[in-house]
Amino acid sequence: MSIYQFAKSIALLAGQRIREELSQELIIETKSNPNDLVTNMDKATEAFLVSQINEQYPDHRIIGEEGHGQDVTDTEGYLWVIDPIDGTLNFVHQQQNFAISIGIFYNGEKYAGVIYDVMNDKLYHAEAGHGAYLNDQQLPALKDTKLVTSIISMNPNWLTKERTRDMYVPIVQAARSSRSYGSAALDFAYVALGIIDSYITLRLHPWDFSGGLIIAEEVGAVVSNQLGEKLDPLHSNSILVANPGLHQELLNDYLGPYRSRLSEIHQGQFSNR
């Protein structure tokens, strides 16, 4: 079995475990603030994925949101970047609209991405250079869109903050409509699927974007930070993912005028870059 096949198989297994245990009572803890939650299921799922990977590939290294992986500071060899449950608030409140996300890199280059929409049993997956799939169906290349006829995804929280309001309101105003799904991994998957045209957010961690980055780029999406720079699996960043035409329009016409503010935000937030 290839590493890619193995990654898909453990995502499916982990999802099955979550579905089977959904009726059990959750133990919910808060992390950085009262709305930043983690459950026993996040931790158990990460522990399961990490133990499976360690057993099969003891020399591979792992970064995971809940800390079961290692402290990784370089990208040598195989690197797994995993989010056991992306969309924990959806998981807790809705028992749906959450995903398992896995991105795998080899010597810092994209190798494969897997996003498993657990409750809908939809597996988005891609091996770099070989196209992206939803279950067994290959996803077609994205077509360019203009913002006026696009649906974008953005968390409305960014429109309530002094520092970002004037930058993002014109995008929401100009778009055909906007959505907020509450799972970054599913946002990437939906861009890859072409059901939304762009996903825009100011702060994601490597486990939020690594699987999605690899899948979305396989259908021709452009994935960068909001300064147009490449993402890497070791650092948090802002996100702009869209079909090529819309990515350029957003970067040039909407974010470009705020370049110095965005640079400042990046230096402040992501100073370890």
Phi-psi category of residue 180: left, alpha or beta, with phi > 0 → left and psi -120 to 50 → alpha = beta
Per CB under 6 A, 150 contacts ligand 2AM? no
- Binding to Ca ion (CB under 5 A) within 165-224 occurs at 208
Per CB under 6 A, 39 contacts ligand 2AM? no
Per CB under 6 A, 203 contacts ligand 2AM? yes
Q: Provide the 10 A C-beta neighbour count for residue 251.
A: 18
Per CB under 6 A, 204 contacts ligand 2AM? yes
Tell whether 83 is in a known binding site: yes
The 71-110 contact track toward Ca ion, x by CB under 5 A, reads ------------x-xx------------------------
Beta carbon nearer to Ca ion, 67 or 156? 67
| Shortest distance (Å) from residue 16 CB to Ca ion | 18
d(CA 62, CA 54): 9
d(CA 125, CA 139): 10
Tell whether 86 is in a known binding site: yes
Rounded to 5 degrees, what angle do the CA atoms 213, 82, 151 make? 35
Q: 183 touches which of Ca ion, ligand 2AM, none (CB within 5 to 8 A by kind)?
A: ligand 2AM
The 87-106 contact track toward ligand 2AM, x by CB under 6 A, reads xx------------------
d(CA 223, CA 26): 35
- Binding to Ca ion (CB under 5 A) within 27-66 occurs at 65
Tokens 């290349």, located at residue: 141
Q: Provide the 10 A C-beta neighbour count for residue 32.
A: 6
Per CB under 6 A, 83 contacts ligand 2AM? yes
| Shortest distance (Å) from residue 182 CB to ligand 2AM | 5
The 154-193 contact track toward ligand 2AM, x by CB under 6 A, reads -x--------------------------xxx---------
Strands in 142-221 per DSSP E: 151-153, 177-179, 198-204
SS3 273: coil
Angstrom CA distances, 160 to 7, 90, 195, stand at: 38, 21, 26
Q: 182 touches which of ligand 2AM, Ca ion, none (CB within 5 to 8 A by kind)?
A: ligand 2AM
- Token couple for 116: 């498993």
- Binding to ligand 2AM (CB under 6 A) within 3-32 occurs at none
d(CA 12, CA 45): 11
In what helix (H) or strand (E) does residue 42 lie, and over which residues does it extend? helix 40-56
Residue 28: beta bridge partners?
39
Tell whether 85 is in a known binding site: yes
Q: Could you list the residues that contact Ca ion (CB under 5 A)?
A: 65, 83, 85-86, 208
Q: Could you list the residues that contact ligand 2AM (CB under 6 A)?
A: 36, 65, 83, 86-88, 155, 182-184, 203-205, 208
